[in-house]
Amino acid sequence: MDGAMPRKNPHIGEESPGEYARRRGAREAEFASAFEEEFDKLRLAREIRLARERQKLSQTELAERVGTKQPHIARLELGKALPRLDVLHRIAAALGLRLEVRLREVAATKPAR
């Protein structure tokens, strides 16, 4: 194939998933809200996983410290489950951290046209 560029998938187009989400969220407030909620869940999942890895703990070891089972930790770290506040407190304590919860102002969005 002497240097030919691979064909682009016509169903995907040129924009990244983030660009698509921003564009669609600008048009649809409900989509933007759901996207932000899911992104927050994934951000929390990543923070839990990174904190566990910094402590060089396995999921099983963290689960034992928290008083739960390894599959629960796995689901939390994948963003498949959202932990209750008491579980977050136990996870933070098991990792030698302090849980901090904040409420922020919602940025004003432009009405859809």
Under a CB-based contact definition with an 8 Å cutoff, are residues 66 and 73 in contact? yes
In three-state secondary structure terms, 27 is helix
d(CA 77, CA 58): 12
- pLDDT score, position 57: 98
Handedness of CA 23, 28, 33, 38 (dihedral sign): negative
> In tens digits, what is the pLDDT along the chain, a chain of 113 residues?
455 555 555 556 677 877 888 888 889 889 888 888 888 889 999 999 999 999 999 999 999 999 999 999 999 999 998 899 999 999 999 999 999 988 888 776 555 55
In 10 A of CB 36, how many CB atoms? 14
Instruction: Write the DSSP assignment of 69-92 as a string of letters.
Output: -HHHHHHHHHTSS---HHHHHHHH
d(CA 59, CA 63): 6
Domains of the chain with bracketed CATH = 42-94 (1.10.260.40)
